Amino acid sequence: MCAGGFSSVVLVAGAVAAGGLLTAAAPVGTTDRAPSAWAGGTPAPVGVQAPTDPLDGRDSADAGSAISDTIPVWELAGDPDSDEPVERGAYLARVGNCVTCHTEEDAEETDFMAGGPPVEADFGTFYGTNITPDPDHGIGGWSEGDLARALREGRGPDGTHFYPAFPYTSFTGMSDGDVADLYAFLMEVPPVARENRPHDLPWYMSVRTAVAAWNAFNFREGRFQQDPERDEEWNRGAYLSRAVAHCSECHSSRTTSGGVDEDLRYAGTSEGMDGDPVPNITPHDETGIGGWSERHLTRYLDFGMDPDGDFAGGSMGAVISRGTSYMTDDDRRVLVRYIRSLEPIDHSVD
């Protein structure tokens, strides 16, 4: 039945997919940390970030009400170290690609989080839903527990199974604090009364109970577990990659039942989006990114330029421009450290 069906779930961020033109992949907002390269300009040097922090100099006690008065919620780049849950949630929504999948390009008040560009899987096309707090069309009626259940169990308030095009398989690792921050942020988003676009699926996949079988094979619910053998930074990098930014959802080969093949996690797949391969990002010298320095990887995740001076294309373009380019230097550094610490796997995807 649904065997293999959910493999190579891939986001096609419209403009990026259309001819790989990075010029159209500029991220949302004025406070973004994305460098000018995304707008077609000259790449900024590594580590350069916009100096503006929306909460700089602001007393945390009055930050709550001030946020939406000064910087509109849909333009918040977010800050993981803020005292303000909405700021921390905004950050997670960028780094976790919630914005990428649930918002069309160039979002503004009227469509922020109100439904996203097509997400292509082997057997169908999905659309990120309206997750604004509109009571009828969005998640306005949801409690924080409902959001936690969606992210961690892949189920709606009434128990409905979500399709794993929504990567709850990774988000299940999120901490209670991060789920609470995401909830605080989503509830501040302007409600938009926009209907969900139906997914484009063959009849046999339109039965959501098929997902229960898929889950039985491929999904294990559970929070991210710290590795006590490693230090705090490594664990933060691992958490960001595994639970939030879900790098291995795309960068892994899949088993015949459609789950991540644990032996090839991060080792790439020859059957990614549109049948194109997704590279092996383990530090294997010949088949992975063993030849990339820490600086190469940092620069790539910051503004998309690889060691040869080429820019990231396909779905990775959107992951960077709408996701990892928003990371703080510290988070990007620990993420890079984690990726570079992976066991090298000899796996060629071409």
Question: Which residues contribute to the site for ligand HEC (CB under 6 A)?
Answer: 10-11, 93, 96-98, 100-102, 119, 126, 128-129, 131, 139, 147, 150, 156, 162-163, 165-167, 171, 182, 241, 245-247, 249-251, 272-273, 278-279, 281, 289, 297, 300-301, 306, 312-316, 319, 324, 339
* Shortest distance in whole angstroms from residue 248 CB to ligand HEC: 8
Environment class of residue 60 by beta-carbon count within 10 Å: exposed (0-12), middle (13-18) or buried (19+)? Answer: exposed
CB of 175 closer than 8 Å to CB of 223: yes
What are the b/e assignments for 96-112, b being 16+ CB within 10 Å? bbbbbbbbbbebeeebb
Rank residues 54 and 138 by Cβ distance to ligand HEC and give the closer one.
Answer: 138
Alpha-carbon distances, residue 147 vs 73, 78, 103, 139, 199 (angstroms) = 19, 20, 18, 9, 21
Rank residues 64 and 313 by Cβ distance to ligand HEC and give the closer one.
Answer: 313
Beta bridge partners of 200: 125
* Shortest distance in whole angstroms from residue 133 CB to ligand HEC: 11
* Shortest distance in whole angstroms from residue 84 CB to ligand HEC: 18
* Shortest distance in whole angstroms from residue 304 CB to ligand HEC: 8
CB of 311 closer than 8 Å to CB of 317: yes
Query: Is 232 strand, coil or helix?
Result: helix
* Shortest distance in whole angstroms from residue 62 CB to ligand HEC: 27
What sign does the dihedral 68-83-329-9 (CA atoms) show? negative
Rank residues 60 and 204 by Cβ distance to ligand HEC and give the closer one.
Answer: 204
Rank residues 60 and 274 by Cβ distance to ligand HEC and give the closer one.
Answer: 274
* Shortest distance in whole angstroms from residue 224 CB to ligand HEC: 14
Rank residues 66 and 94 by Cβ distance to ligand HEC and give the closer one.
Answer: 94
Which token pair is 185?
């942020």
Rank residues 247 and 260 by Cβ distance to ligand HEC and give the closer one.
Answer: 247
Q: CB count, 10 Å around CB of 189? A: 28
Alpha-carbon distances, residue 220 vs 2, 103, 172, 212 (angstroms) = 18, 28, 8, 12
Q: What is the CA radius of gyration of the chain?
A: 19
* Shortest distance in whole angstroms from residue 58 CB to ligand HEC: 26
Rank residues 43 and 66 by Cβ distance to ligand HEC and give the closer one.
Answer: 43
